[in-house]
């Protein structure tokens, strides 16, 4: 439901009423006898995180007070909370790797494996288990990266170690806290302002400031009218756009130069010279590029697929060539193609206008910011995993109920990924069908028996009436007919 619950900050007493339809939907689909043993979690993310703590608590308090009155789910005060960006990233990582089957214990000769120094047991032999997949997600405002760190990381200084602790999450996905072979060490970092739209806004703000100062110093009029627009390399060739700030308007015209655009936006990556650093110099553990895999979501997918139609396996050289060609294509031609429906159905004019900039931004974030080599071929850009949109909520419920028996719920996500599970499900269907036939046959036989008994009683009654009419005493009626 939209908008998010954070929009109720001025009327927190309406929070429980607002999500009542969602809980009613759940209550209808979960057997009533199971409500008391069904845990309910209400986890709030970015929208709530930006609210003052007092407003957060007011909304949560309304939920904690009213929900138990109307629903019998297993719900305590601690089940309603605002989670951190780090938690959200971990849950997204768990959800995607669960759907991909990376936590399975099934022997698979084709599956890639990795040696892991299990956190807390560094002195023991390394555990060999399935290689997990890393996650890249670029939204409109922020960019996030999450991946497993299989080896113990050494730090150059205590200060760097302290920073790393805030970015590394260690957790146990086993059904028992003592099963340390299921302990994972995952790096999660969220970069506000590094989403596609936020980056474009920062870029435009800098253009406006620089051109305003330059015009004042040199007495020029660049960008102040349509006759002398600011030439923007990050807009398609010939496209015209405007920036408005403080009542002033700056006119832009695209030159469609992909390589120059990359150069212009590189400073926004704010990469330091340190080896173990990422965007804005944030600590980033080393990645084994030869034995790793990443999935790119949101803008990573939209930028490669919506216009360039290259979603899926990422190839840096092919992507850069396609992006360069798009930028250098006249805006009138791009608009004509759009009107003819040659792009993805959900691609709009906003996507067309800023595809050139976002193509360059995604390229720079991936290769300059996160330091992936241009030869890296194990990135898959995707909207769905196994035809399902995987959200962080899946990982959250898996983690928080990990001590409960999960049975075969994986079947709902990955079809025939596991042969023995598929065999079990098929056998269960046959067994159910056989039981159903047996019960049905028993009922039919019983009804037939009742029918024979009923007919026999009717014949007995008719014979008795006949003998009474003929003057035969009932005591002399034969017991066997």
Catalytic residues: 88
What SS3 string covers 430-467?
Answer: HHHHHHHHHHHHHHHHHHHHHHHHHHHHHHHHHHHHHH
Structure tokens at 272: 């330091």
| CB-CB contact of 264 with 356 (8 Å) | no
Q: Would the annotation count 143 as a binding residue?
A: yes
Q: Is 144 annotated as a binding residue?
A: yes
Phi-psi map region of 279: left, alpha, beta (phi>0 left; psi -120 to 50 alpha): beta
Contact 295, 96 (CB under 8 A): yes
CA distance 174 to 180: 8
Q: Is 222 annotated as a binding residue?
A: no
Q: How far is CA 375 from CA 131, 201, 264, 301, 379, in A?
A: 20, 30, 23, 19, 11
Characterize 392-415 residue by residue with b for buried, 16 or more Cβ atoms within 10 angstroms of its Cβ, and e for exposed. bebbbbbbeebeeeeeeebeebbe
Tokens of 105: 């214990």
Indicate the burial class of 432 (C-beta count within 10 angstroms; 0-12, 13-18, 19 or more).
Answer: exposed
- Whether residue 245 is annotated as binding a ligand: the answer is no
Distance CA 5, CA 23 (A): 14
| Structure-token pair, residue 64 | 């904690």
Sign, CA dihedral 319-323-325-326, equals: positive
- Tell whether 369 is in a known binding site: no
**Tokens matching residue 424:** 């079990």
Half-sphere exposure of 45 (CA within 13 A, CB side): 14
**Token digits of residue 18:** 């607002």
Point out the annotated binding site: 140-144
Point out the annotated binding site for ATP: 140-144
């Amino acid at each position: 439901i939209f908008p998010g619950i954070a929009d109720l900050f001025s009327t927190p007493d309406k929070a429980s009423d607002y999500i009542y339809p969602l809980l009613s939907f759940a209550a209808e689909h979960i057997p009533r006898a199971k409500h008391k043993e069904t845990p309910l979690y209400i986890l709030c993310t970015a929208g709530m995180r930006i609210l003052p703590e007092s407003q957060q608590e007011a909304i949560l308090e309304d939920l904690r007070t009213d929900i138990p009155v109307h629903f019998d789910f297993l719900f305590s005060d601690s089940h309603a909370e605002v989670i951190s960006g780090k938690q959200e990233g971990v849950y997204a990582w768990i959800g995607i790797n669960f759907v991909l089957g990376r936590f399975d214990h099934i022997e698979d000769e084709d599956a890639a494996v990795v040696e892991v120094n299990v956190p807390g047991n560094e002195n023991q032999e390394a555990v060999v288990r399935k290689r997990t997949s890393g996650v890249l997600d670029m939204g409109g405002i922020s960019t996030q990266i999450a991946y497993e760190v299989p080896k113990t990381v050494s730090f150059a200084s205590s200060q760097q170690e302290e920073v790393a602790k805030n970015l590394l999450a260690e957790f146990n996905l086993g059904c028992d806290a003592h099963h340390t072979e299921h302990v994972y060490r995952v790096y999660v970092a969220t970069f506000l302002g590094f989403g596609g739209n936020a980056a474009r806004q920062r870029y435009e703000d800098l253009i406006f400031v620089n051109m305003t100062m330059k015009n004042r110093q040199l007495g020029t009029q660049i960008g102040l009218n349509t006759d002398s627009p600011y030439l923007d390399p990050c807009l398609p060739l010939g496209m015209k756009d405007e920036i408005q700030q403080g009542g002033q308007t700056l006119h832009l015209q695209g030159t469609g130069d992909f390589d120059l655009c990359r150069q212009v936006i590189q400073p926004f990556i704010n990469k330091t010279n340190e080896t173990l650093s990422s965007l804005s110099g944030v600590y980033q553990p080393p990645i084994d590029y030869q034995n790793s895999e990443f999935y790119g979501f949101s803008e990573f997918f939209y930028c490669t697929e919506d216009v360039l139609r290259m979603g899926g396996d990422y190839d840096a050289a092919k992507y850069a060539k396609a992006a360069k060609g798009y930028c250098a294509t006249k805006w009138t031609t791009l608009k004509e193609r759009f009107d003819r429906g040659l792009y993805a159905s959900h691609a709009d004019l906003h996507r067309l206008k800023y595809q050139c900039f976002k193509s360059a931004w995604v390229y720079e974030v991936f290769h300059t910011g996160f330091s992936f080599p241009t030869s890296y071929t194990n990135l898959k850009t995707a909207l769905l995993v196994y035809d399902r949109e995987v959200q962080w909520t899946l990982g959250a419920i898996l983690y928080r109920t990990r001590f409960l028996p999960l049975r075969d719920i994986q079947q709902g996500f990955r079809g025939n990924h596991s042969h023995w599970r598929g065999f079990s499900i098929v056998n269960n269907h046959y067994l159910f069908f056989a039981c159903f036939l047996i019960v049905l046959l028993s009922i039919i036989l019983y009804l037939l028996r009742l029918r024979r008994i009923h007919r026999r009683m009717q014949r007995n009654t008719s014979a008795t009436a006949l003998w009474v009419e003929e003057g035969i005493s009932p005591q002399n009626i034969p017991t066997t007919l």
